[in-house]
């Protein structure tokens, strides 16, 4: 509100350095070129598609699709996961019925997809969330 009022009066907006640094913290940057990114991201989506195929054993209405860089796992009334490639950022973005949206980058040192904000490993997070949603250990 104060910013909008200052704008109306023509006063320049001022931000503290601390605000700018905390709001604009840089995400980890991938060193992958485009071809490397597509190869590694496609491998992830195909691997997860194969692992998630067993959801049929847990849910009658589970549906899985992997098309054009987007993996969708519909878990019926439990929600839907969507993982998709974001080529310009060299990231995989995810939408979860449990944790919401997240972004993951390829950590070449650890050979894992890691959360850009909290460092969470993608497959471990998916395993924990599926256990929570399904009420039992889902071998991922």
How many domains does the structure of the chain reveal?
1
* pTM of model > 0.75: yes
Please indicate, yes or no, if residue 22 is contained in any of the structural domains.
no
Q: What is the CATH number of the domain that holds 67?
A: 3.30.920.10
Reported as a single tens digit per residue, the pLDDT across 110-127 is 999 999 999 999 999 999
Q: For 2-40, give the DSSP string.
A: HHHHHHHTTPPP---HHHHHHHTPPPP-----HHHHHHH
Classify residue 11: in a domain, yes or no. Answer: no
Domain that holds residue 106: 32-134
pLDDT digits (tens, 9 = 90+) for 32-86: 899 999 999 999 999 999 999 989 888 889 999 999 999 999 999 999 999 999 9
Cite the beta strand spans of the chain per DSSP E.
63-67, 70-74, 80-86, 91-96, 100-107, 112-115
97 lies in some domain? yes
In a domain, 108, yes or no: yes
């Amino acid at each position: 509100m104060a910013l909008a009022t200052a704008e109306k009066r023509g006063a320049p907006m001022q931000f503290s350095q601390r605000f700018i640094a905390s709001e604009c913290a840089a995400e980890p940057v991938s060193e992958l070129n485009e071809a490397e990114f597509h190869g590694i991201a496609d491998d992830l989506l195909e691997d997860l598609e194969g692992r998630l195929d067993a959801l049929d054993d847990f849910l009658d209405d589970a549906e899985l699709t992997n098309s054009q860089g987007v993996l969708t796992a519909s878990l019926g009334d439990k929600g839907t996961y969507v993982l998709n490639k974001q080529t310009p950022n060299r990231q995989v973005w995810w939408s979860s019925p449990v944790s919401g949206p997240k972004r993951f980058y390829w950590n070449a040192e650890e050979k894992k997809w890691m959360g850009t904000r909290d460092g969470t490993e993608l497959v471990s997070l998916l395993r924990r969330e599926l256990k929570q949603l399904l009420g039992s250990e889902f071998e991922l």
